[in-house]
């Protein structure tokens, strides 16, 4: 078996990095330097024509998009490790929260960054749209907080890849200067997840 992981720290590769550490499978890491233009090099574009990390190459097959990689890792390695349910409704529960993180929460976070982030071109910013995106994130955090009521983890009492994926994304929420204090269930859950030794091994 050959697994190669292309990543950059503090990027959307971080949740996948954490999952790989938690799974404990052997893999090779390849650090991608955005500033050096690594994602634009022909050899990388062959793996991901979108010029983004993460990319996971398993036995010669390149997989991109972090949610897709997480689901793939779960199906391929996670069941035997107890981090991903066997086929059935419980697997669907885990899958939906992984995808919700990227598609629903991620879309709102992108709107905040695009309209309020200091890295966004000033002439393209829209403060009103950015503040609306923050309101949307607050509503999404309420949904997550309600999901965690009476649960240790998002899909029940056992840690899954959905927890690794989602709690890692909470760092983006903090970066957007969104106060997590009102969401006590979310904060307790984040502490349970990020206190695992594997979290520190996946920047």
**Domain with 151 in it:** 89-197
Residues 100 and 49 reside in one and the same domain: no
Q: Kindly state the average pLDDT of the residues 42-65.
A: 98
Tally of structural domains, the chain: 2
Nearest to 95 by CA among 52, 155, 35, 21: 155
16 burial level (CB within 10 Å; 0-12, 13-18, 19+) = buried
For residue 123, name the pLDDT band (cuts at 50, 70, 90): confident
pTM of the model: 0.95
Q: Which residues contact 66 (CB under 8 A, 6 or more apart)?
A: 12, 13, 15, 16, 54, 102, 165
**Could you read off the pLDDT of 92-120 as tens digits, one per residue?**
999 999 999 999 999 999 999 999 988 88
Residue 109 covered by a domain: yes
Average per-residue pLDDT for the chain: 96
Residues 112 and 185 reside in one and the same domain: yes
Residue 121 pLDDT > 90? no
CA distance 68 to 62: 11
Residues 130 and 184 reside in one and the same domain: yes
Residue 127 covered by a domain: yes
Residue 59 pLDDT > 90? yes
Residues 150 and 187 reside in one and the same domain: yes
H, E, C per residue of 173-188: HHHCCCCCCCCHHHHH
Distance of CA 161 to the CA centre of its chain: 10
């Amino acid at each position: 078996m050959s697994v190669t992981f292309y990543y950059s720290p503090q990027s959307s590769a971080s949740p996948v990095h954490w999952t790989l550490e938690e799974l404990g499978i052997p893999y090779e890491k390849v650090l991608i330097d955005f500033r050096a233009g690594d994602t634009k090099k022909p050899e990388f574009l062959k793996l991901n024509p979108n010029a983004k990390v993460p990319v996971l190459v398993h036995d010669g097959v390149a997989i991109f998009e972090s949610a897709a990689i997480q689901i793939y890792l779960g199906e391929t390695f996670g069941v035997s490790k107890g981090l991903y349910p066997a086929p059935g409704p419980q697997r669907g529960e885990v899958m939906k929260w992984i995808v919700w993180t990227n598609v629903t929460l991620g879309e709102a976070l992108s709107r905040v960054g695009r309209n309020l982030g200091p890295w966004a071109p000033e002439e393209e910013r829209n403060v009103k749209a950015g503040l609306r995106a923050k309101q949307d994130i607050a509503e999404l955090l309420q949904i997550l907080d309600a999901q965690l009521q009476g649960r240790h983890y998002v899909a029940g009492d056992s840690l899954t890849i959905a927890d690794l994926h989602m709690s890692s994304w909470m760092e983006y929420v903090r970066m957007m200067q969104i106060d997590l204090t009102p969401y006590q269930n979310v904060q307790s859950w984040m502490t349970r997840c990020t206190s695992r030794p594997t979290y520190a091994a996946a920047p």
